[in-house]
Amino acid sequence: MSAMQPTAPLRRAFSREERNYLLRQRLKSVAAHAVLIIFGIAFMLPFVWMISSSMKPNVDIFELPVRLIPKTLRLENYIDATNAIPFWQYLWNSTYYTIFATIGAVLSNTFIAYGFSRVRWRGRNVVFIIVIATMMLPFQVRMIPLYILFARLGWLNTFLPLIVPNFFGNAFYIFLMRQFMMTLPRELDDAARIDGASEWGIFWRIAVPLSKPAILTVAIFEIIHTWHDFIGPLVYLRHPTKYTLSIGLRLYFTQYGAEWGLLMAAAAMFTIPMVIFFFFAQRSFIEGITLTGLKG
Amino acid sequence: MFRRKRDPASQPNSWRTDNLPGWGLFFIAPWVFGFIAFTVYPFFASLYFSFTNFNIINFTPRWVGLDNYVELFTYDPLFWISIGNSIKYAALLLVAATIFDIFIAYLLSLNVKFLSIYRTIFFFPVLVPVVAASLTWIWILNPRFGLMNGLLDLIGIKGPNWLASPDTAMYSLIFIAVWGSGRSVIVYLSGFNDIPSQLYEAADIDGASGLQKFRRITLPLLTPQIFFNVVTLIIFSLQSFSEVYIMTGGGPANSTLLYAVNLYNRAFHDFAMGYASALAWIMFLLILGLTLLIFKFLSGRVIYER
C-alpha cells in the first residue's frame, strides 16, 4: 500500500487509514499464527504420544491422569521391542522390498515416459489415454486374479509379486515423468540428432540427466509407498520369516495388545527412517506433490 | 500435446521424418507387457471369476452364471451395509477434509513466518507408516488410558469409547483420515500461492469485502486444485482398506465395515474368490460411474488461469 512507496519519507507519520490497515494486517497475522499453532500441536500430539509411551515402563503406561512427559524413562523398551519380535529380520525385509521396488519404479518409468514424451509415433496420444485410464481401475479388481496368477507361478511368500510388477511401469509415475519430460526443450534432441546421436543416446545422455528432479520425485514417492505398504505384504507374504515391519507390527499387536510401551517403541523405530528421509528430501518431495497436483 | 499437433510451427520436420517408427514402441515395451500381464489379464479374469465359484485348493473355477450377483443383491446383508458405510465414509471425509485442508492452506498462504515448519507439521502424518499410525491411534483412543480421553478428563468431559463403540467408530476413522490428509494441504497451498495478488489489490480498490474476495477470486481460481483433490479423495476413500482393517477390522457390529474390508474378508478369509470378484467388479463400476459423474459436473466449472 501507500506506506510502502519508495518516494515517501522514511519517518512520515501514517494516516489513520494506513494505521488501521497495518493494525488489521497485524491482527490477521496473529490470529493465523494462533490457529496454526493450536492445530499444529494437535497434529503432532499423536507422534509425541507415541514417543512418550515408547519410553514409559509398563506401570506408567496405565497411569491416570495421563502424563505426556514420562515420569521415569525406560529406554530399554527399544531393546526389548527388537527382541519381542524378529525386528531386524522384518526391518531387513522392509528395506529389501523398498530398495528393489524403487529401483524397478525408477528404471521402468523413466524409460517408458521417454517413449510417451520425446519420441513421436502414430497413436501415442491414444495409448497415453489408456495409460491414464488404468489409474481408475481399483486395486481390488486386480488383486484376486494376480494372487491366483502368482500362486500358480509359485511366487507366494516371496517378494517377487511385490517387486516384479514395478519393473513394468506404473500409470501415475509414467504420467508424472511424462509431464516433466514434455517441458524439456526439444532443440536439445534436434541438436544431438544432427550430431548423429541415436534415439538411445538422446534418452541416456539428454533426457535422463535433465529429468533428475522427476526421477527423484518418483524415487521418493515409491520409497514412502513401499515402506508403508500394508495390503501387498498382507496378501502375498504369509510366512513369518518374510513379514515386513507393517505385517510384523500388526501381528505383534494382535498377540500382545497390552504391551503398549514396546509397541510404541517398535512403531517409532518404524517411523523414524521416514522422518530422517523426509528431512533430506523435503524440497523435491513438496515440489513433487505440487507438480502432480497442478498438472492433474 | 494435442495443440502441438495442429501447430506446424512448433513441430520441426525432424520429428516426423527422422524417427524410426519402432523407437516409440521400444521405449514403451515394458509398459505394454505390464499392461497385458498385470492389468488386461486380471481385468478380464476378474470378470470371468465373478461368474464362478472358486476352489482355492485346486484353483478350479466352476461356472455358476449370475449366482454371485444374485446372492450379492438379494441375500447378502453385508454387501448393503458395506456400501452404506463406504458412501458415508467417503462423503463425510470429503466434506471434512476439503474444508479443513483449504482452511489450513489459506492460513499458510497469508505469508506467515515459519511457513516451512508449519507445512512440515501438517504434512507429517503422511510420513508415519499406516500401521504405525493406526496402532498409535488405537492407543490414543483407548477409552480408559488413552491420550484423548485423558485430555478430555482434564477438562471434565467423559470421553466416548471411540473405536470401540458403533456410534463413534466411523467418526473416529474419519477424524483420523483428516489428520492424514496433509498431501491436499500442500496442493491447496500451491493453488493459493498461484493466485496473482494484483487481483486482490484490484478488489481492495473496488471496496470488496473479505467474503466477496473469497467467493469471486479465491474459490474460482482454486478450482483446479479442488477438482484434483476431490477426484483423488473420492477414488481413494472408496478403496480405503489398511487403516480401517487394522484399527477396527470392520467392527464394532459392522459399523465400520467398508466395502474394501468386506471384499478382502470374502477373498482371503472365506476364500470365496468368485464372490469377491463380483464384489470387485461392482466396486469398479461404482467408482467408474462416480468418476465420470464428477468429471461431467465439475470439469466444466474448473477455471484455469490464462
What's the pLDDT score for residue B260?
Answer: 95
For A146-155, A179-188, B42-51, B268-277, which range has the lowest pLDDT when averaged over its residues?
A179-188
Least CB-CB distance to A271: which of B1, B132, B267? B132
The position carrying cell 531386524 is: A88
Which residues in chain B have Cβ-Cβ distances shorter than 8 Å to A122? 21
**pLDDT by residue (tens digit) across A132-181?**
889 888 888 999 999 999 998 999 999 999 999 999 999 999 998 998 88
- 8 Å CB contact between A93 and A249: no
Inter-chain CB proximity B33 and A271 less than 8 Å: no
Selected residues 9-38 of chain A with any CB under 8 Å from a CB in chain B = 28-29, 32-33, 35-36
Alpha-carbon distance of B85 to B170, in angstroms, equals 8
Residue B242 pLDDT more than 70? Answer: yes
Q: Which residues neighbour B31 within 8 Å (Cβ) at sequence distance 6 or greater?
A: A108, A112, A115, A131, A168, A169, A174
H or E, element range at B63: strand B60-63
Helical H runs in A153-185? 160-163, 171-182
- 8 Å CB contact between A181 and A112: no
Which chain A residue has the Cα nearest residue B193?
A290
CATH architecture of residue range(s) A85-255: Orthogonal Bundle (1.10)
Selected residues 110-169 of chain B with any CB under 8 Å from a CB in chain A = 110-113, 118-133, 135-140, 144-147, 150-151, 153-154
Local structure of B60: helix, strand or coil = strand
Which residues in chain A have Cβ-Cβ distances shorter than 8 Å to B287? 136, 138
Alpha-carbon distance of B47 to B278, in angstroms, equals 7
What's the pLDDT score for residue A22?
Answer: 85
Q: Of A137, A141, A275, which to mutate for an interface test with B (greatest number of B Cβ within 10 Å)?
A: A141
Alpha-carbon distance of B253 to B273, in angstroms, equals 24
Residue B91 pLDDT more than 60? Answer: yes
Alpha-carbon distance of A119 to A122, in angstroms, equals 10
Which chain A residue has the Cα nearest residue B11?
A186
Q: Mean pLDDT across the stretch B59-71? A: 87
Q: Is B268 on the interface with A (CB under 8 A)?
A: yes
Q: Where are the domains of chain A?
A: 2-61, 85-255
Residue A33 burial (CB count, 10 A)? 17
ipTM over 0.90: no
Least CB-CB distance to B31: which of A43, A131, A144? A131
Which chain A residue has the Cα nearest residue B264?
A140
Alpha-carbon distance of A176 to A203, in angstroms, equals 17
Selected residues 70-99 of chain A with any CB under 8 Å from a CB in chain B = none
Alpha-carbon distance of B244 to B169, in angstroms, equals 10
The position carrying cell 504420544 is: A49
Q: Please tell me what DSSP assigns to residue B62.
A: E
Which residues in chain B have Cβ-Cβ distances shorter than 8 Å to A199? 19-20, 23, 26
Q: Mean pLDDT across the stretch B153-166? A: 89
Residue A5 pLDDT more than 60? Answer: no
Which residues in chain B have Cβ-Cβ distances shorter than 8 Å to A68? 147
Q: Is B41 on the interface with A (CB under 8 A)?
A: yes
Q: Which residues neighbour A253 within 8 Å (Cβ) at sequence distance 6 or greater?
A: A263, B135, B138
Q: Is B45 on the interface with A (CB under 8 A)?
A: yes
Instruction: Look at residues B146, B178, B151 and name the one whose alpha carbon lies nearest to residue B163.
Output: B146
Measured over the CA atoms of residue A212, residue A216, residue A218 and residue A219, the dihedral's sign is: positive
- 8 Å CB contact between A246 and A233: yes
Inter-chain CB proximity B34 and A169 less than 8 Å: yes
- pLDDT confidence of A7, banded at 50, 70, 90? low
Of residues B92 and B61, which shows the higher confidence score?
A: B92
Strand partners, B52: B63
pTM (predicted TM-score)? 0.88
Local structure of A123: helix, strand or coil = coil
Q: Output b/e per residue, B136-146; b: 16+ Cβ within 10 A.
A: bbbbbbbeebb
How far from each other are the two terminal CA atoms of chain A, in whole angstroms? 36
Q: Which domains does chain B have, with CATH numbers?
A: 2-49 (no CATH), 70-301 (1.10.3720.10)
Inter-chain CB proximity B19 and A121 less than 8 Å: yes
Inter-chain CB proximity B2 and A125 less than 8 Å: yes
* Cα-based angle B38, B130, B250 (whole degrees, multiple of 5): 85
Q: Which residues neighbour B53 within 8 Å (Cβ) at sequence distance 6 or greater?
A: B61, B62, B64, B67, B68, B272, B274, B275
What's the pLDDT score for residue B132?
Answer: 95
Q: Of A168, A217, A262, which to mutate for an interface test with B (greatest number of B Cβ within 10 Å)?
A: A168
Selected residues 126-145 of chain A with any CB under 8 Å from a CB in chain B = 127-128, 130-131, 134, 136-145
Bond preceding residue A6 cis, omega within 30 of 0 = no
- 8 Å CB contact between B222 and B188: yes
C-alpha cell at B109: 498462504
Helical H runs in A55-207? 58-61, 76-84, 87-117, 124-134, 139-152, 160-163, 171-182, 186-194, 199-202
Q: Of B23, B68, B122, B225, which to mutate for an interface test with A (greatest number of A Cβ within 10 Å)?
A: B23
Alpha-carbon distance of B232 to A276, in angstroms, equals 28
B97 Cα to chain A: minimum distance (Å): 14
Inter-chain CB proximity A267 and B228 less than 8 Å: no
Backbone angles phi, psi at B61, to 5 degrees: -80, 140
Which residues in chain B have Cβ-Cβ distances shorter than 8 Å to A119? 19, 23-24, 27
Which residues in chain B have Cβ-Cβ distances shorter than 8 Å to A149? 41-42, 45
Q: Of B3, B15, B19, B127, which to mutate for an interface test with A (greatest number of A Cβ within 10 Å)?
A: B127
What's the pLDDT score for residue B135?
Answer: 94
What's the pLDDT score for residue A234?
Answer: 94
Selected residues 65-104 of chain B with any CB under 8 Å from a CB in chain A = 104
With pLDDT > 90 as the criterion, what percentage of chain B qualifies?
49
**pLDDT by residue (tens digit) across A34-83?**
999 999 999 999 999 999 999 998 888 887 777 888 888 888 889 988 88
Q: Please tell me what DSSP assigns to residue B54.
A: E
DSSP secondary structure of B16-53: HHTS-THHHHHHHHHHHHHHIIIIIHHHHHHHHHTTEE
Inter-chain CB proximity B125 and A43 less than 8 Å: yes
**pLDDT by residue (tens digit) across A217-245?**
899 889 999 999 999 999 999 998 999 99
